[in-house]
Structure 1
């Protein structure tokens, strides 16, 4: 089993799930995430997903072309959910720095609440072939663009950071998330907030306001 203990290894348990599958398509996507988290992308078959979802092969192929197609649909769903939560949290803040803090907290809490999808998006996508790697790269660019563009949206006077700095921030956050998720430490993700904020503001040259 490649997916580790989703309970956070004694750190208080998992948060309530944020994705509650309703349709058959969503059930298949959820089953893909669960199965891939347990077995890894390479070892997962369509038959495994069908058993987890308790849905027929015919129904699967009416909705997805193959395993890769279903995997990428699961990846896309989680990415859009993450970006939506991050954007909402940022927009609700009064200043740019507070927006970054709220956005990062929202991201970490969502990943902790959806450990199977967290593993799929951060770890297993690296094994999903050229299309998976292209999806990951596009996602990294989207998060970097969010940081780059958001600097001047709240507070008015701040200049956007160089694109390379925004990319370095996203890359560093990704690596730290990977190191915890690959060990199954999902419940500990929200506890990374202070460390990640320190790293982010250090690269931006903007001290984080004292709590």
Structure 2
């Protein structure tokens, strides 16, 4: 690929070039996760800072990434994938539950996936904001995927008679917006609350938008 330095092929120290490259990339990603998610943040970090934290050279950085923004972009996709996988893994186990229990467990799985590592929370909801048009598109694309997922789940519940049928796209978008706004404000310290309080508040919004409240049965 133009503009990228190709690492040397062959085996060295008992490891193939592909293995060495994978290890370098892992070290850069871990360094970025620390610096962007727990350290000074993306805007206050330089490529030399990442290289120093990873114990690697700038030449090796440019073998893996064109820019620091590329590193942030990959980390943003990674932390989103962790949360999404937590939901996907749980989904087959909750299909038999009543809708309140099902949505509660699915949302708590998502919340655990996105907050278990505070670095993930900061990258997903704070560091990615306003970096560039490219990352804005990436962020909105991931939001759109969650909106589609919520609509699919709600439409399936409506087809089973668990909730009233309606157009779910606007409430789904409103809920995803509430997650992003509240999690951002909580992560930067603008909202003084525990994580449990944040999760409970968002869960109540979700259940309310589906037109039943916690503790009540589904619509018939």
* TM class by smaller structure: 0.7 to 0.9
| Other structure's SS at 1:151 match | helix
Moved more, 80-89 or 64-73: 80-89
Query: How high is the TM-score relative to the length of structure 2?
Result: 0.76
Partner SS state of residue 177, structure 1? helix
**Where does residue 211 of structure 2 map in the other structure?**
205
For 2:205 and 2:62, how far apart are their aligned partners in 1?
44
CA distance in 2 between counterparts of 1:62 and 1:43 reads 22
Aligned equivalent of 2:128: 125
In the TM superposition, what is the alpha-carbon distance from 1:81 to its structure 2 partner? Answer: 1.3
Unpaired runs of 5+ residues, structure 2, are 1-21
Helix, strand or coil at the partner of 1:42:
helix
Among residues 179, 185, 188, which one is paired with 2:185 in the alignment? 179
Q: Following superposition of structure 1 onto structure 2, how do residues 1-211 of structure 1 map, counting pairs within 5 Å?
A: 23-37=23-37, 38-93=39-94, 94-95=96-97, 96-153=99-156, 156-158=160-162, 159=165, 161-183=167-189, 188-209=194-215
Q: How far apart in 2 are the matches of 1:190 and 1:82?
A: 17
Taking a change above 3 Å as real, the CA distance of residues 61 and 145 of structure 1, as seen in their structure-2 partners, is same
User: CA, structure 1 residues 100+27, in 2 after alignment: closer, same or farther (shift >3 Å)?
Assistant: farther
Alignment partners' CA distance in 1, 2:105 and 2:48: 40
Alpha carbons 2:128, 2:135 under 8 Å: kept: yes
Moved more, 165-174 or 93-102: 93-102
The structure number with the bigger radius of gyration is: 2
Alpha-carbon distance in 1 for matches of 2:83, 2:166: 22
In structure 1, what is the Cα distance between the partners aligned to 2:64 and 2:178? Answer: 36
| TM-score, length of structure 1 as denominator length | 0.79
Would you say how many aligned residue pairs link Structure 1 and Structure 2?
189
1:102 shift after superposition: 1.3
- Tell me how large the CA RMSD over aligned residues is: 2.5
